[in-house]
Amino acid sequence: MDAQQTVQPGLVATLRRLAATALATVQNRLELLLVELQEERVRLFNALLFTAATMIVAVFTLGMAACALSIVVWTRFGVDGLWALSALGLVTTLLACWRLRARLKHWPLLPETLAQLKKDREGLMNGQ
């Protein structure tokens, strides 16, 4: 009977430690998830800001092209400068669109959380 009484408290203590470890792991992963969600919010804001800048440059380019075309009809003097500005605006718009596309293409979603969950799974599979 004494053997059963000594086993029970040891088992209960082990189960409590196991539950505490599991809860600590879940809390740690949730905190990491919240940090990454905040980072994603900042990235989204930056992408929206960059998109707005791209649209402003595109509108400027179209306006400059329209001005250049109008002036070409009236006179040829000074048109080369306006066309150069229009070409510069077009190049800037294309570069901005290319950069935005590259940024959105390589946008990892919650990479650290996924890596930690994968590490946890591998640890459980290997018995660590």
Domains identified in the chain, total number: 1
In the chain, what percentage of residues exceed pLDDT 90? 28
Residue 93 sits in which domain range? Answer: 2-120
**Is 125 among the domain residues?**
no
Closest CA to 34 of 110, 127, 124, 114: 110
pLDDT in tens, 96-112: 999 999 988 888 777 88
Within a domain: residue 127? Answer: no
- Work out the end-to-end distance of the chain between its first and last CA atoms, rounded to an integer number of angstroms: 34
For the chain, what percent of residues have pLDDT higher than 70?
82
Tokens matching residue 98? 């290319």
Higher-confidence position of 31 and 4? 31
In the block, tokens 């900042």 appear at: 42
Question: Contact at 8 Å (CB) between 108 and 27?
Answer: no
Say if 10 falls within a structural domain: yes
- HSE-up (13 A, CA, CB side) for residue 10: 6
- For residue 37, tell me if it sits in a domain: yes
Tell me the C-alpha distance between 17 and 11, whole Å: 10
Domain membership flag for residue 107: yes
In a domain? residue 91: yes
pLDDT digits (tens, 9 = 90+) for 49-77: 999 999 999 999 988 887 776 777 567 65
Amino acid 127: pLDDT: 66
58 part of a folded domain: yes
Q: What is the mean pLDDT of the chain?
A: 83
Residue 19, in any domain of the structure: yes
